[in-house]
Every structure is written in C-alpha cells, then in structure tokens.
Amino acid sequence: MAAQTVHFFRPVENGGVCSDPDRRPVKRLVAFTVGDFNGVGPEVALKAALHPSVLRIARPILVGPLDIFRHAARLFKCRVELERAVFPALTGKHLQVVDVGDGIWADVKFGAPTKSSGRSAGAAIERAVELCVNGSVEAMVTAPTSKEALHLAGYSFPGQTEMVTLFSGSQKVIMMLVSPSLRVGLVTVHAPLKDVPGLISKEKIVEKINLMLASLQRDFAVKKPALAMLGLNPHAGEAGHIGSEELSVLQPALDAARTNGARIDGPFPADAFFGTQAYKRYDGVLAMYHDQGLIPLKLLSFGKAVNVSCGLSIVRTSPDHGTAYDIAGKGKADASSMVEAVRTAVAIAKNRSSAA
C-alpha cells in the first residue's frame, strides 16, 4: 500500500473543499473489527481505514488488540500512527483503536485458526456491538474471522451474524448479500444441506420476506420493493414430482405474504432464474439456502459484494470473503469488499437517520 499521512478527524465536504469550518459535516463513526489476526482481517481493516473513498464519508475506529494493529501496519507498510481511543473524546490526527482482546504480535500464526485469534476476534465483535448499541459509533464492519477459531475460544455460534444478533439484543435477522447488480437474502444460512428442508417453514419464510422488504425500504430507500423467491428443489419441484416443499411450504408462504401486501413472485427454478437474468427485474431475491444464493452473487460480483445483517437494531456489514489464510501476512489482500462494506454501512446509517 502506498505510504500516506492521513488526518482522520478532518471533516470532508465537496471532495475535501469547505470554506466554512463551522458548516463542515460530521463524518459517520464506523467501528472496524480486527477479524482473525491469523488471516487477512487486520490487513483489510487497515487498508479500508486508509482508503480515500472511506475517509471522505467515515471516521474509522479500529477495534481489536492495539499491538496487533501496530505490527500489522508496519508489516503492510501503512504509514499511519495509531492511538488508543478514549470515548467520547476522539480527537487528534491519528487512527483510533479500541484496544480489546489479549492478542499480541507473538501470538500471530499466519494461515491457521487458533484459540488466541478467536478470543481477540470475539472480544472485538462484542465491543463493537456495545459501541453501536450505546451510540458511540453509528455502524460496525466486521473483518473476516474463522468459525473454528471462535469455537476454539469458546464462542459457540454458527457465525458472526448470530453473535451480533444476540449481543445487540435483536430478535430477528436475515443475512442479505448486496452487490451493484443483485441483492440476495437467505432463509437458512450456515446449515448443512441435508438439514435445510427441515429448517424451512411457512412461518420462517414469511418472517424472512417481511424482514427483507422492511430492510429494502428502510436501509436501501426502495419505496415499493419487489422480491423473487427461489424454489428449494430442482425445477422448483416440478409440480411435486421432484420434492413437495414448493407446494406444501413455499407457496403457502407466498400466499400469506401477498395477503399482507408483499410484492413477491415465485417460487422460481434457481438455475433458469439466474440463467435468463430474471433477477434484473427484482429489487431482491430470497434464496432457500447459502450456496443457492451466494454462488450466483459471487460469480457476478466477487470482491464487490457486501454482507448486511438486516433486521438488527444496529448497522452491521462485512465483506463477502473469508480469512484467506493462503495469502495471510503477504500483503496481497484486496480490501475492495471491505471498502464496499464501509460505504454500504454509511449509506444505511444515513438512510436510517433520514427515515427517523
């Protein structure tokens, strides 16, 4: 990364030109978690925090072990001064770090999940949620972490989404991946494929439809969103000949949602739906399981997609990739998706403020 010196708390307006200091807008405070420090988490967090497009709209606050971030900044040649954040008096020219987690640079083992990396990642998530809930920051962006590392550290969650949901006191959430060309919500997320049929129900699908529609309106400013729903089985069940869930579960859910005013079509055979680019006619697509929705999205927009936890009381986004252990510590990580995650978080925060 090119060396640079950045003034982190100088408000920016009109590309950085503002004749009246008293009228400068306050940029959105956004917490960036460390992620798994044995992966690319600290690297993409630092690179995103220094990115010009981020600095135009946000005031980054790193959350994680200060020692890890300082050594990572030197390793990845980021010319930046880091200082411990003290709320609410965030001042100065340096990048602020909320120092949590007991990880130190000597603990780093690039390329593998460890108890230490999971402990720091988990602590950073908990603290970032707390900062959002108490109003110290307006949004959080979670860098990639490892479910295995979190489990080693005693966090028994399927993923970060479930952690953020619990810690924020939220009750319902839908994981939605958004990109410039496609938005995909998931009925089931981190579940084995063999378990998916038993995890879907009419009530659960209606809940996810309502969460997705509400988020499109509130968070993405889509006034009258239209959704498409994918079938569970090949050919959307072929009228019950290749599975009955479309008839017994999905269609009744569609009917119930429509009764409540939802604009939603389906269930569509997933292969033909994406093959014919039918997704372009809709504001969002509801998929039944993880890979059904994420494979087409990543084929279309890998590196530009963002994970949004919709339905939470707080704003949380994350990049569309994992820990990338194979390139950890090599300075090769692309922070594009992390940057997009910040931009999306700021846009959502602004839309929520406008709607309040």
Nearest Cα to Cα of residue 339 among 40, 47, 4: 47
- Give residues with Cβ within 8 angstroms of 281, minimum separation 6: 226, 228
Same domain, 191 and 281: yes
Please check whether residues 180 and 222 belong to one and the same domain: yes
Residues 28 and 157 in one domain: yes
pLDDT confidence of residue 294? 95
Is the predicted pLDDT of residue 190 greater than 90, yes or no?
Answer: no
Task: Tell me the pLDDT tens digit for each residue of 127-152.
Answer: 999 999 999 999 999 999 999 999 99
217 and 280 fall within a common domain: yes
What's the whole-number mean pLDDT along residues 271-298? Answer: 97
Provide the percentage of residues in the chain whose pLDDT is more than 70: 91
Average pLDDT over residues 214-223: 96
Residues 163 and 180 in one domain: no
Tell me what the mean pLDDT of segment 332-349 comes to.
96
Q: What is the pLDDT of residues 299-318, one digit of tens each?
A: 999 888 999 999 999 999 99
Pair (117, 190) in one structural domain: no
Q: Are residues 58 and 197 in the same domain?
A: no
pTM for this prediction: 0.90
| Pick from 258, 245, 252: nearest CA to 213 | 258
* One domain, residues 144 and 266: no
Quick one: CA torsion of 24, 141, 165, 246, rounded to 10 degrees? 110
Looking at the fold, whether 137 and 12 belong to one and the same domain comes out as yes
Where does a domain end: 311, 326, 347? 311
Domain total of the chain: 2
Per-residue pLDDT, 79: 87
Can you give the CATH number for the domain in which 229 is found?
A: 3.40.718.10
**pLDDT computed for residue 130 by the predictor:** 97
pLDDT, tens digit, 9 for 90 and up, residues 72-129: 999 999 989 999 998 776 766 789 999 999 889 999 999 999 999 999 999 999 999 9
Give the domain range for residue 132. Answer: 1-169+314-356
Nearest-angstrom CA–CA distance, 10 and 265? 47
